[in-house]
Structure 1
Amino acid sequence: MISLWNSSLQDQISELHDDTWNIEIDETIEENRPARDWHQYISGSFAQFRCSLCRKGWGSKRVQVLFHFHLDTKINQGTIKVRRFKQKCRRCTQAQWEDPNFPVENIDVLIERLVRNIRKKCYREDLGETNRSSVFNGKINGPHESAHCEACHKGICSQAN
């Protein structure tokens, strides 16, 4: 799973100076708490979920992704930590937080937005404004359900109702 994120990152960041960048999933990072000399970026996208108890699947257009990133210029090494916020099944009373499954196209869009942010923050590049949209294939019924959204529970969901 991280290989899709890393592959997209390497495709899009390869032209950045002589620095090497690595990406890792870190479910412990918190909004507004990046380590010293780290930057933060939050984006949202469409993803699919599947309940590990009843196997019901659902999609959400409002899945938040938190990135913390840092460039160590002494060793030309950049590190990116990613937290993908989870959702719970609304059917199961003992529902667990389930990991999102992003379409490859949406991972590419998320990484593209992140790389633009890295170029602005770490390399001080002025890139102007562009914003590519994520891909949404499917049907979403009903409103966003804050009770089943981890990002809402953490207070960072941009779509909380």
Structure 2
Amino acid sequence: MISLWDSSLQEKIGELHDDTWSIEINDSIEENRPARDWHQYISGSFAQFKCSLCKKGWGSKRVQVLFHFHLNSARNRGTIKVRRFKQKCRRCTQAPWEEPNFPVENIDVLVERLVKKIRVKCYREDLGQPNRSSVFSGRVNGPHETAHCEACHKGVCTQAN
């Protein structure tokens, strides 16, 4: 899974000031707690989920993704930590938190938005460009369910019930 995120990142950030950037999935990062000299960006996108117990699948239009990023100018290295917030199956009483599965197009949109934030925060560029939107394919029925959203439990979700 990280290879999709990394290949999208390398494609979009490639020529930035001769710096090398890496990306890692890190479920321990917390909203509003980036390390000193790190920046934070939160975005949402559509993703699919599948229950590991009953195998039921569902889609969510507002899956939160938290990014912490930092540029070490002395070493020409940038680091990005990504937390993809999970959801629980509403059918299973002992349901575990399930990982989101983002379409490749949506990973590209999320990374494109992130690279714009990096260019503004780390390189002080003035972009003034609108964001591209995520691709949504499929049907999503019903309201957002706070009880089954990890981002809601962590106080990160901006989706109204």
1:63 matched to which residue of 2?
63
2:19 matched to which residue of 1?
19
Counterpart secondary structure, 2:122? helix
1:95 matched to which residue of 2?
95
Letter in 1 for 2:119: R
Identical counterparts, % of pairs = 82
The answer to whether the Cα contact below 8 Å between 1:152 and 1:160 also exists between their aligned partners in 2 is no
| Aligned-pair CA distance for 1:160 | 3.6
The aligned length equals 161
1:153 matched to which residue of 2?
153
1:85 matched to which residue of 2?
85
2:110 matched to which residue of 1?
110
Q: How does 1:40-55 map to 2 (within 5 A)?
A: 40-55=40-55
TM-score normalised to the size of structure 2?
0.99
Letter in 1 for 2:25: I
TM-score normalised to the size of structure 1?
0.99
Q: RMSD across aligned C-alpha pairs, in angstroms?
A: 0.5
Counterpart secondary structure, 1:123? coil
The 4+ residue runs of structure 1 with deviation greater than 4 A are none
Counterpart secondary structure, 2:23? strand
- Which range moved further: 33-42 or 129-138? 129-138
